[in-house]
Amino acid sequence: MPRPALCLALLLPALAGCADLPALEGRVSADIAAAPYPAITPLGPILARADALAVSGRASPAALAPVEARLAALRARADALRGPVIPPAQRARLLRGVAADALQ
């Protein structure tokens, strides 16, 4: 007799296939649909121009302060995302595996 979890795992994708898809036609205006794709600009020249503005004094420290604060916040967020996804204790438990006699 199949296990209920297996039956549920097979039934849910079948039910999802029966769902009505939302109508997407007409959601984008004609002028937006006809607009060209944005150009992808290399980051190097943009950073060089920003550095030149900072060195020349055209960008005041007061104007750069919010940008630098946002940059610091984004770097801290990126550092937090670099950490382990699974805590070390749970990872060790997962690596030990499942005992074969526990499956019966």
Q: Could you please report the per-residue DSSP string of 53-87? A: HHHHT-S-HHHHHHHHHHHHHHHHHHHHHTS-SS-
Give how far the C-alpha of residue 17 lies from the chain's centroid of Cα atoms, to the nearest Å. Answer: 26
Q: Is 82 part of a structural domain of the chain? A: yes
Q: Is 27 part of a structural domain of the chain? A: no
Q: Is 92 part of a structural domain of the chain? A: yes
If one compares 19 and 52, the residue with the highest pLDDT of the two is 52
The answer to pTM > 0.85 is no
Q: Is 104 part of a structural domain of the chain? A: no
Q: Is 84 part of a structural domain of the chain? A: yes
Q: Is 93 part of a structural domain of the chain? A: yes
By three-state DSSP, how is residue 33 classified?
Answer: helix
Q: Is 43 part of a structural domain of the chain? A: no
In this prediction, residue 12 has a pLDDT band, given cuts at 50, 70 and 90, of: confident
User: Exposed, middle or buried by CB within 10 Å (0-12, 13-18, 19+), for 54?
Assistant: middle
> Residue 91's domain spans which residues?
65-97
Over residues 44-50, the mean pLDDT reads: 89
> For 80-98, how does the pLDDT look when each residue is reduced to its tens digit (9 = 90+)?
888 888 888 998 888 888 7
Question: Count of domains in the chain?
Answer: 1
Q: Is 38 part of a structural domain of the chain? A: no
In this prediction, residue 2 has a pLDDT band, given cuts at 50, 70 and 90, of: low
